[in-house]
Structure 1
Amino acid sequence: MKRKPTILIVDDNPGNLAVLGSIVTENGYIPGFATNGAIALASVKKKRPDLILLDVMMPEMDGFEVCRQLKQDATLADIPIIFLTAKTEKEDVIAGLSLGAVDYVTKPFNKSELLSRVNTHLELQATKEELRNTLEQLEKQNNELHSKNVKLELLTQELAEAQKEKLFQLNQAYERFVPRTFLGLLGKQSITDINLGDQIEREMTILFADIRGFTSISEEMTPQDNFDFINNYFGQMEPIILQYQGIIDKYIGDAIMALFPYSVDDAISAAIAMLKTLVNYNKILQRAGLPILQIGIGIHTGPLMLGTIGGQNRMDGTVISDAVNIASRIEGLTKTYRTPLLISEASYLGLSETAKYLIRRLDRVKVKGKSKYVNIFEVFSADMQEVQAGKLATLDLFEKAVHLYQQQSFEKAQELFQACLSQNPVDATAEIYIQHCQKLMVNG
């Protein structure tokens, strides 16, 4: 059963006490009485009321002093006080409210108006009390959560650095789905500013990276092992792309598609770093008894449309461009030429300083699905030192052989490729070219 509010009536006039007591009782409240200020203070301290109706003009201690003393007591200061007095001067009203009273009603009073004010302030007080209780509950829950968080922090300190990175990324969740750089390129400050159809057109460099033979690797694993394995690999590659100002547009199975909006050098440097990181990561995989990885990376530069596609209830940020398809096809050619990193001529010409990288012209190919030929170049800056040395030593010889091959002088081209292979026996691309020359010479 709901508790009835108590109202302390303070007045030195017995008639006023009787009238107010009757009004309070009739409206479902429990009255308390005090005939002067001292009795009122003692009564409040003994039993706290829900509201006080306080006369001002009383002997020895007036209502203003009673109010002042109550407001100075932190345990009683929140009790709502309504002055009910014959003092009607504006200065008196201001004085009463300044002392902390919630209302000021002058005599003679209107019964309905007085009850309305009493009801309002009791409801406000009840709301405050409810809010206070809610805040206390929230604080208690917060303390409990804090205690659990402390325990969780102690546990997380024992996890590997990769796990810490995942936890950090969870705190930045929305950026994982819509990178801040992507928003910036669209001229948006927040994901909430994105609208379906927002788009820009500009030249960018596209990078595709794909794991070689991942289907065979995944067949030997459980679904959970597959997810853990591929996510750990992505966890190695993602920071490198971000370090070189790249945007991961999407993960496609075991492949990564990334955009580099600012320079070709960013994309090439990222690709080289990815391949070097993979060498060290493979050592970790080997020690753990897991299969080591090989990847192919294709890079192309060209105009593209970057924006949002989809419907009103589901949209995605992506790019649309023929340049994307070319980058993907070039990545596929890394299998053909048995080399991990190929770039298009457009990317080669976009480099700020080609001398910073180890590059050789590889071929002029008709990319699958395209009518125009594309010149492709091998970047071998991430190769082992002995492999780099061999390719540098045979650089001129190799490019002459490629030129002869394209001129369909297959016999002379084969001789030069064979000479390259003799000087550099680990040049897999030269070996591939020799096989092609032999096949073409036999078939005409």
Structure 2
Amino acid sequence: MNRNPTKSPRANILVVDDTPNNLRLLSTLLTEQGYEVGKALNGQLAIKSAQAAPPDLILLDIKMPQMNGYEVCQQLKSHDQTKQIPIIFISAIDEVLDKVKAFQIGGVDYITKPFQREEVLARVENHLNIQALNNALRQEQKKSENLLLNTLPKTIVEELKQHQRAIPKEYDEASFLFSDIVEFAANSSSMPPTEVVDLLNQVFSAFDQLAQHHGVEKIRTIGDAYFVAGGVPLVRPDHAAAIAEMALDMQQAIAQFRWPNGQPLALRIGINTGGPVVAAVLGTKKFAYDVWGDTVNIASRMETQGAPGKIHVTTATYEQLQDKYQLQKRGVITVKSKGEMTTYWLVGRRW
């Protein structure tokens, strides 16, 4: 029977058998078909070999001293590095219960000795093709997951994977930051649209790196506005400090960018702390993660009623930051829909 080895180019197969003659026979058969073949005379060597250089497929004998084939399979299936390797059992044992056990512990096929050359090659080729398709599917799933991670928090992606939906969650307290680029419309109106997009991409990419560094979550961007949460979706007691660090570093980062006229970009930042707030995923075709609550609205007001180059915070945020950060009292201001509020400027760190 003529087989075309190019269907599985340079596939690496590990043959495990404690009988040298069987090992040599299978090795020669597979090598003649263009496969790269590794050999192991016992279970311990097989596990070490598979972990050091995972093969594309394993042909595994059952009756071996010290560690039988079932135990080898269970060991390999218990480790992330080797659990996806297809294992074909090849044994003189022809009992139904033994075959059932082989499949129950993770084997993909079972060949009975004495084996036929054509049967071994056909089954090997078939499972290598299946494995190639599974690998391609896993790659596509990984791409899809990475796309989701660009839109949603990691914990939410995991919840969607497990339950196909994310349950809205209430948080007792968190901190929120809104920022926008000062005079963005006026300064960008004379720029080509592609340059405006490129500038925003550079700025927001820098902010994204800061968010990852400080363990806070970017919720969304709207135009030149950037919205970040601390303590959502991952609860952390130091959410106010994390957002403060984010704000201070954002002010440093934005100073590295210039308008075409050479003037540096500047941010207006507002922060508020409180709760409760509710976070949830909206949509079924295009997902969006967002947070709602009066605390969020006030954080937005702090930004719009702030000042260029400054970080405007509420009394609630001030109370959590005052021991470790330098803050200056702004005084009483009238906040839309809230009335009079005492607010502060976050200036820097005390250390």
Where on the TM-score scale, by shorter chain, does this alignment land: which range?
A: 0.5 to 0.7
Q: C-alpha separation between the residues in 2 aligned to 1:350 and 1:72?
A: 70
Matched, 1:333 2:305: yes
Distance 1:251 1:220, change over 3 A: same
Aligned to 1:111: none
SS in 1 for 2:215: coil
Q: C-alpha separation between the residues in 2 aligned to 1:275 and 1:219?
A: 23
SS in 2 for 1:258: strand
Distance 1:381 1:75, change over 3 A: closer
Aligned to 1:375: 342
1:239 deviates by 1.9
Q: Please tell me the residue identity of whatever aligns with 2:347.
A: F
Aligned to 2:325: 357
Q: C-alpha separation between the residues in 2 aligned to 1:365 and 1:323?
A: 17
Aligned to 2:43: none
279, 282, 287: which one pairs with 1:310?
A: 282
1:78 deviates by 9.4
165, 169, 194: which one pairs with 1:224?
A: 194
Q: Please tell me the residue identity of whatever aligns with 1:178.
A: L
Aligned to 2:151: 177
Distance 1:192 1:363, change over 3 A: same
293, 299, 322: which one pairs with 2:271?
A: 299
SS in 2 for 1:221: coil
Identify, as 1 or 2, the structure richer in helix: 1
Q: C-alpha separation between the residues in 1 aligned to 2:230 and 2:328?
A: 22
Tell me if structure 2 keeps the 8 A contact 1:179–1:247.
yes
Q: Please tell me the residue identity of whatever aligns with 1:74.
A: T
Q: Please tell me the residue identity of whatever aligns with 1:374.
A: M
Distance 1:317 1:128, change over 3 A: same
Q: C-alpha separation between the residues in 2 aligned to 1:377 and 1:176?
A: 34
Aligned to 1:98: 113
Tell me if structure 1 keeps the 8 A contact 2:151–2:287.
no
Aligned to 2:37: none
193, 209, 215: which one pairs with 2:179?
A: 209
Q: Over alpha carbons, which structure has the higher Rg?
A: 1
Alignment of 1:213-252 (within 5 A): 213-252=183-222
Range with greater deviation from structure 2 (289-298 or 190-199): 190-199
Q: TM-score, normalised by structure 2?
A: 0.57
1:189-244 Cα distance to aligned partner (Å, 9 max, x none): 44413625432232101101110111122212222211110010112222223322
Range with greater deviation from structure 2 (324-333 or 290-299): 290-299
**Identity value in percent:** 20
SS in 1 for 2:303: helix
Q: C-alpha separation between the residues in 1 aligned to 2:125 and 2:158?
A: 41
Q: How many residues align?
A: 242
Tell me if structure 1 keeps the 8 A contact 2:251–2:309.
no
Distance 1:130 1:375, change over 3 A: same
Distance 1:189 1:346, change over 3 A: same
Matched, 1:200 2:170: yes
Q: C-alpha separation between the residues in 1 aligned to 2:341 and 2:286?
A: 37
1:163-184 Cα distance to aligned partner (Å, 9 max, x none): xxxxxx999543221122x53x
Matched, 1:324 2:296: yes
Q: C-alpha separation between the residues in 1 aligned to 2:331 and 2:126?
A: 77
Tell me if structure 1 keeps the 8 A contact 2:332–2:342.
yes
SS in 2 for 1:334: coil
Q: C-alpha separation between the residues in 2 aligned to 1:236 and 1:251?
A: 13
Aligned to 2:17: none
Aligned to 2:245: 269
Distance 1:93 1:269, change over 3 A: closer
Comparing both chains, which one has the higher relative contact order based on Cα–Cα distances under 8 Å and sequence gaps of 6 or more? 2
Tell me if structure 1 keeps the 8 A contact 2:271–2:302.
yes
SS in 1 for 2:348: coil
1:111-133 Cα distance to aligned partner (Å, 9 max, x none): xxxxxxxxxx88x966765776x
Tell me if structure 2 keeps the 8 A contact 1:71–1:78.
no
1:328 deviates by 0.7
For structure 1, which runs of at least 5 residues remain unmatched after alignment?
1-5, 7-47, 50-66, 80-91, 103-120, 143-168, 383-444
SS in 1 for 2:173: strand
Tell me if structure 2 keeps the 8 A contact 1:196–1:312.
no
Alignment of 1:44-443 (within 5 A): 71=25, 74-75=28-29, 98-101=113-116, 172-180=146-154, 183=156, 189-193=158-162, 195-261=165-231, 262=236, 263=238, 264-279=240-255, 281-282=256-257, 285=258, 291-335=263-307, 340-351=310-321, 354-370=322-338, 372-381=339-348
Q: TM-score, normalised by structure 1?
A: 0.46
Q: C-alpha separation between the residues in 1 aligned to 2:315 and 2:93?
A: 86
For structure 2, which runs of at least 5 residues remain unmatched after alignment?
4-20, 34-91, 95-111, 137-142
1:313 deviates by 3.5
Aligned to 2:8: none
Q: Please tell me the residue identity of whatever aligns with 2:329.
A: R
